[in-house]
């Protein structure tokens, strides 16, 4: 097969040993690795950027180090650069994100040399062969979250574990991670047979028939009798409750389903865990439960309250714990898979509002938080993860388009469709009254428990459940408002949030001007 060689004028960021090896390999190679199946692209190093001023004006294999990061955008234009390669494997995630943001201002394709650890693990002699595109996770701007695997292993090893919603994005990753710690048994429960089948087959392929005691059951958490029999038969010591409806717009249209599946389902499984002396019940919650503006978020806040109510009753042996985190990159129905499909089709990429901001984490991080929280929980806590700075969805879309080698608004358009019913501009991780306290892991905090009024809580909950089972939408939604006082109209919340941000930005600007004077 013949290839047309396309020379790519390349800016290399980093003047260390990785850049030295990379440039040498480029010059020694006839051409760089194939891109696609029609042509090969040869990197031609034109200049090097490095933050060390003492290196300015020096050369690596004949390529000059011309200056620091402040010159990236300017020199990329002046020197007609086609592609940028970041060759600093030791960069922290935060520093990497800041550098990526600067590079994205050039609107050029961006490549990267992996972490030092990745280079070592792959045992590759060639750095050039490992130059790759930017991963979505690298846009988060924080270091990957690590957890104490020893605590988790001590917690899981030899235990019987059940995962409701075990076929979903979070539930299936829970099953994967639990399997690594030698449990006595994993029971996957899901109402959707296709997703349950997929994780069942994946785990069987990974561990074989004898390497993992795996039970996969099709059942709904709404069916109390069925769940009771499952718990009695398999006698789990730990239940991870991940079964839930999560799509905000769909639940605005079908609020009864959110209440039946999320609220009734959680009450069923949690009470049955208490009845059958399950050691720990771990509920998966969301930042949308904080000051909710939609039925889905309010239903999840109600679930949190159910778990705290049962914990405060102190009946039986079960320890109840909730984990709360933001959006999960790459989960079913999340923005990243949607954006990728839209880009593949040539666009447009749809974003609801250019001001929308969200917290993000990866699926493995989210599940590791759940596992760590379960391991250290004493009962009744809501564990909250420090997820770093929130990300603008439009910026995420723009960067993803560039990662695919396209230019936003030129090759792929971005269309703003307007906020959906019940949608917030800005998500929160803590309610004002909760406050936080630290744990041994500096990235995990505990929200203070809010006292649940045991005299009125179950009465209001029964009204909510009865209305939902009768499909009395008006009564049920009003009952949800009564249950969750922080459930507010999205328009009011968004207007207040915009006003608060504008006042804060004005204050910051005034402080900056004062410091300048």
- The better pLDDT of the pair 137, 37 is held by 137
Q: Which of 53, 52, 65, 81 shows the shortest CA–CA distance to 19? A: 65
Which residues have a Cβ under 8 Å from the Cβ of 362 and sit 6 or more positions away?
Answer: 137, 140, 144, 328, 329, 330
Looking at every residue in the chain, the average pLDDT score rounds to 84
Would the pLDDT of 329 be above 90? no
Highest mean pLDDT among 2-6, 10-14, 150-154: 10-14
- 3-state SS string for 246-257: CCHHHHHHCHHH
Do the two domains 4-134 and 153-494 of this chain adopt the same fold?
yes
Three-class SS state of 161: strand
16-22 contacts at long range (C-beta below 8 A, 24 or more positions apart): 16/50, 16/87, 16/88, 18/87, 18/88, 18/89, 18/113, 18/127, 19/48, 19/60, 19/87, 19/88, 20/60, 20/61, 21/127, 22/85, 22/87, 22/113, 22/127, 22/128, 22/131
Token output for 449? 């428990």
For residue 362, CA distances in Å to 140, 359, 512, 513 come to 9, 11, 35, 39
> What's the average model confidence in pLDDT over 112-137?
56
Would the pLDDT of 38 be above 50? no
Distance CA(371)–CA(362), nearest Å, equals: 14
Task: Report the pLDDT value the prediction gives residue 428, as an integer from 0 to 100.
Answer: 64
Q: Which of 44, 100, 93, 95 shows the shortest CA–CA distance to 72? A: 100
Active site residue 288: yes
Confidence of residue 26 (pLDDT cuts 50, 70, 90): confident
Catalytic pick among 260, 288, 300, 424? 288
Q: Which range among 177-191, 257-271, 483-497 shows the weakest confidence by mean pLDDT?
A: 483-497
pLDDT in tens, 339-368: 888 988 998 999 988 888 887 777 887 888
Burial of 291 (C-beta count, 10 Å sphere; 0-12/13-18/19+): buried
Contact call for residues 136 and 329 (beta carbons, < 8 A):
yes
- The better pLDDT of the pair 269, 418 is held by 269
Q: Which range among 1-15, 348-362, 475-489 shows the weakest confidence by mean pLDDT?
A: 1-15
> What's the average model confidence in pLDDT over 62-79?
95
Q: Which of 171, 162, 161 shows the shortest CA–CA distance to 199? A: 171
Q: For tokens 């409701």, name the residue.
A: 164
Three-class SS state of 514: helix
Q: Is the dihedral of CA 409, 414, 418, 422 positive or negative?
A: negative
Burial of 387 (C-beta count, 10 Å sphere; 0-12/13-18/19+): buried
Angle at the Cα of 490 from the Cα atoms of 336 and 465, rounded to 5 degrees = 90
User: What percent of the chain clears pLDDT 90, i.e. is strictly above it?
Assistant: 46
Contact call for residues 166 and 188 (beta carbons, < 8 A):
yes
Contact call for residues 275 and 296 (beta carbons, < 8 A):
no
Ordered alpha helix ranges (H), 144-294: 149-156, 169-179, 193-211, 224-234, 248-253, 255-258, 265-275
Query: β-pairing, 63-67 with 319-325?
Result: unpaired
> What's the average model confidence in pLDDT over 229-235?
97
Task: Report the pLDDT value the prediction gives residue 68, as an integer from 0 to 100.
Answer: 95
- For the chain, the domains span 4-134, 153-494
Return the CATH fold of 4-134: Rossmann fold (3.40.50)
Would the pLDDT of 82 be above 60? yes
Burial of 444 (C-beta count, 10 Å sphere; 0-12/13-18/19+): buried
Task: Report the pLDDT value the prediction gives residue 122, as an integer from 0 to 100.
Answer: 40
Confidence of residue 127 (pLDDT cuts 50, 70, 90): low
pLDDT in tens, 281-291: 999 998 888 88
| Strand ranges, E, within 326-404 | 327-329, 349-351, 357-358, 360-362, 382-385, 391-392
- The better pLDDT of the pair 56, 451 is held by 56
> What's the average model confidence in pLDDT over 20-35?
70
Task: Report the pLDDT value the prediction gives residue 257, as an integer from 0 to 100.
Answer: 95
CATH superfamily of 153-494: NAD(P)-binding Rossmann-like Domain (3.40.50.720)
Distance CA(182)–CA(172), nearest Å, equals: 16
Would the pLDDT of 430 be above 90? no
Q: Which of 382, 388, 383, 381 shows the shortest CA–CA distance to 369? A: 383
Contact call for residues 427 and 357 (beta carbons, < 8 A):
yes
Would the pLDDT of 148 be above 80? no
Task: Report the pLDDT value the prediction gives residue 311, as an integer from 0 to 100.
Answer: 92
């Amino acid at each position: 097969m013949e290839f047309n060689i396309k020379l790519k004028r390349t800016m290399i960021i980093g003047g260390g040993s990785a850049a030295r090896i990379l440039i040498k390999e480029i010059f020694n190679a006839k051409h760089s690795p194939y891109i696609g199946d029609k042509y090969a692209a040869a990197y031609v190093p034109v200049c090097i950027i490095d933050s060390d001023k003492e290196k300015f004006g020096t050369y690596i294999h004949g390529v000059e180090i011309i200056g620091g990061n402040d010159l990236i955008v300017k020199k990329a234009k002046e020197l007609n650069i086609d592609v940028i390669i970041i060759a600093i494997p030791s960069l922290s995630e935060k520093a990497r994100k800041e550098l990526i943001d600067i590079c994205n201002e050039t609107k050029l394709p961006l490549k990267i040399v992996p972490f030092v650890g990745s280079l070592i693990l792959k045992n590759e002699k060639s750095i050039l062969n490992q130059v790759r595109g930017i991963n979505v996770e690298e846009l988060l701007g924080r270091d990957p979250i690590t957890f104490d695997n020893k605590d988790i292993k001590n917690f899981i090893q030899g235990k019987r574990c059940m995962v409701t919603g075990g076929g979903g994005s979070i539930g299936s990753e829970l099953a994967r991670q639990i399997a690594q710690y030698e449990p006595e048994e994993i029971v996957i429960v899901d109402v959707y047979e296709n997703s349950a089948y997929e994780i069942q087959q994946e785990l069987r392929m990974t561990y074989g028939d004898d390497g993992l005691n795996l039970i996969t059951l099709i059942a709904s958490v709404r069916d109390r009798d069925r769940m009771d029999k499952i718990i009695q038969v398999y006698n789990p010591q730990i239940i991870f409750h991940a079964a839930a409806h999560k799509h905000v717009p769909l639940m605005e249209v079908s609020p009864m389903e959110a209440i039946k599946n999320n609220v009734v389902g959680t009450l069923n499984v949690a009470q049955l865990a208490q009845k059958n002396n399950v050691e720990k019940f771990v509920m998966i919650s969301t930042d949308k439960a904080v000051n909710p503006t939609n039925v889905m978020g309010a239903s999840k806040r109600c679930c949190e309250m159910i778990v705290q109510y049962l914990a405060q009753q102190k009946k039986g042996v079960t320890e109840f714990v909730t984990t709360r985190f933001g959006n999960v990159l790459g989960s079913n129905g999340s923005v990243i898979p949607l954006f990728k499909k839209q880009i593949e089709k040539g666009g447009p990429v749809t974003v609801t509002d250019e001001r929308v901001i969200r917290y993000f984490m990866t699926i493995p991080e989210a599940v590791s938080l759940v596992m760590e929280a379960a391991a250290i929980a004493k009962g009744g806590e809501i564990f909250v993860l420090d997820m770093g700075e929130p990300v603008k969805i439009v910026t995420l879309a723009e960067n993803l388009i560039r990662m695919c080698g396209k230019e936003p608004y030129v090759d792929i358009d971005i269309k703003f469709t307007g906020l959906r019913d019940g949608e917030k501009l800005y998500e929160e991780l803590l309610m004002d009254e909760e406050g936080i306290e630290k744990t041994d892991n500096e990235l995990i905090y505990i929200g203070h428990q809010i006292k649940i009024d045991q005299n009125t809580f179950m009465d209001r909950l029964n009204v909510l459940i009865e209305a939902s089972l009768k499909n009395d939408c008006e009564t049920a939604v009003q009952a949800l408002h009564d249950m969750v006082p922080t459930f507010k109209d999205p328009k009011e919340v968004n207007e207040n949030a915009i006003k608060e941000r504008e006042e804060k930005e004005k204050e910051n600007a005034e402080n900056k001007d004062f410091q300048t004077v």
